[in-house]
Amino acid sequence: MLGGSPQSGAAFCEKGVILVTVEYRVNAFGFLAHPWLTEENEDHVSGNYGILDQIAALRWVHEHIAVFGGDPENITVFGQSAGSMSTQVLVSTAETEGLIAKAVMQSGLSCKEEILATPTLEEEEEYGKLFVELTGAKNPEELRSLSVEEIQEARRKFDAKMLETGDGLVMVPNVDGKLLKQSVKETWKCGKLRKIPYMLGVVTDDLGAVPEEVAKKETGILMEECKRWADSCEKLGTLVYLYHFAHELPGDDWGAFHSAELWYMFGTYGRCWRPMGTEDQCLSEQMVTYWTNFMKTGDPGCADGERWEAYTRENPVVKRF
C-alpha cells in the first residue's frame, strides 16, 4: 500500500491477503533534483529517491513475502491519491518488471490531464536550484549538513513561491532516462502499459471535480482518465475494473470526499469518529471482499451476490458504491 492514511490490514488478513505498507521519502527528501546531485551520480540522475525507496521495498517483498505465507508471484501494488500516482510510476518503469501482478489506483491517474506531471530531469533541476538557493547552501556538503528543520523551512518558502507562480507541487518523479525513459502520459499514449489486471476509481468530490459535478453526484475528469486507461488496456487484452465511491459519510455535510473510501475498503470504519451504522458496515464488508478478491485473483468477483464486471467499450460498467 502506497500513500493514503495508515490503515490496519486485519480485515485483509481475514480474507487471506497479506497487507504490506511502505514508507518512503517525500518532498525535498524524496524528489529534490539538482545538478550537484546529478553530477556525482554514476548514472547522472537525481531526484527520484522516493520512487527508488518504493522499488527497494517491492523487491524486498518479492524476495521475502513467502516467509510470511505470501506468494511472490501474486503481488498487488496499490495506493490512493499520491500513492495512486506512485503506483502509475511503478507500472510505467522497467525497473519493476516481473514484480507486479496487479495494480489498484485510487483517486490519482494521468493519461491526458496534468493530474500527475512527470517533468524532465532538466526541468526538475531548475526547481531544485531555486530550492537550494533558499537553503543558502553553497555546495553539496553544506546542503547535506542542513538540519531537517532548516530543510523544512526552505521548503515552506519554496512552496510559497511555487504558489505565487502557479506551479503548485513540483517536487515529483522526473523523466531521468533511467527510472523513467518517458513521462507516464507518454507511456500511456504509446500503449506501453503493463499487461496486468487493474482496478481504478474515484470518489465524487475528487481531484479535478468541479462544484457542479459534485452537486449532481457525478464524476469529473479523473474518471475520464480512468476510462482512457481502461480503453487502452482493452486493446492490450487486459482487464480493468472501474468504480465510483458516491457514499456520503455520516456526521457532517462533506459528502464523498477525497480519501473517504479508505475507511470502507480497509474495513476500519469502526475506528472513525463518525456515527457509522449498519449501512456503513455492509458497504465496508462488500468493498473489502471486492478488493481482496481482486488482489488474490485479478477479478473482484462477487460480494453480497453482486458481480463486478470489467469495463469495456461495449459494456462500460462503473461499479457504484
- Residue 4 pLDDT > 50, yes or no? no
Residue 192, SS3 per DSSP: coil
Q: How confident is the model at residue 148, as a pLDDT?
A: 95
Q: Which residues lie across from 320 on neighbouring strands?
A: 244
What residues have CB less than 8 Å from 252, skipping those under 6 apart? 274
Please report, to the nearest 10 degrees, the dihedral formed by the alpha carbons of residues 249, 251, 253, 254 taken in order. -50
Q: How confident is the model at residue 168, as a pLDDT?
A: 83
How does pLDDT run across 176-197, given as a tens digit for each residue?
A: 999 999 999 999 999 999 999 9
Count CA within 13 A, CB hemisphere, residue 181.
8
Residue 164 amino acid letter? E
- Residue 239 pLDDT > 70, yes or no? yes
Residue 109, SS3 per DSSP: coil
pLDDT > 70 fraction of the chain, expressed in percent and rounded: 98
CB distance 84 to 206 below 8 Å: no
The better pLDDT of the pair 234, 118 is held by: 234
pLDDT > 90 fraction of the chain, expressed in percent and rounded: 91
The residue written with cell numbers 512552496 in the block is 159
Domains in the chain and their CATH numbers? 10-118+174-320 (3.40.50.1820)
In this prediction, residue 40 has a pLDDT band, given cuts at 50, 70 and 90, of: very high
Q: How confident is the model at residue 177, as a pLDDT?
A: 95
Mean pLDDT confidence for 103-123: 91
Mean pLDDT confidence for 205-224: 92
Helix (H) or strand (E) holding 128: helix 121-135
Residue 112 amino acid letter? K
- Residue 86 pLDDT > 60, yes or no? yes
Q: How confident is the model at residue 3, as a pLDDT?
A: 53
How does pLDDT run across 258-309, given as a tens digit for each residue?
A: 999 999 999 999 999 999 999 999 999 999 999 999 999 999 999 989 999 9
CB distance 270 to 283 below 8 Å: no
CB distance 291 to 201 below 8 Å: no
What residues have CB less than 8 Å from 164, skipping those under 6 apart? none
In this prediction, residue 2 has a pLDDT band, given cuts at 50, 70 and 90, of: low
User: What is the phi/psi pair of residue 111, to 5°?
Assistant: -120, -60
- Residue 141 pLDDT > 80, yes or no? yes
pLDDT averaged over every residue in the chain = 94
pTM: 0.93
| Distance in angstroms (rounded) separating the CA atoms of residues 43 and 4 | 31
Q: How confident is the model at residue 72, as a pLDDT?
A: 97
Rounded to the nearest 10 degrees, the angle between the axes of helix 82-90 and helix 49-64 is 70
Q: How confident is the model at residue 115, as a pLDDT?
A: 81
Q: In what order do the strands lie in the sheet with 318-320?
A: 76-80, 102-106, 198-203, 240-245, 318-320
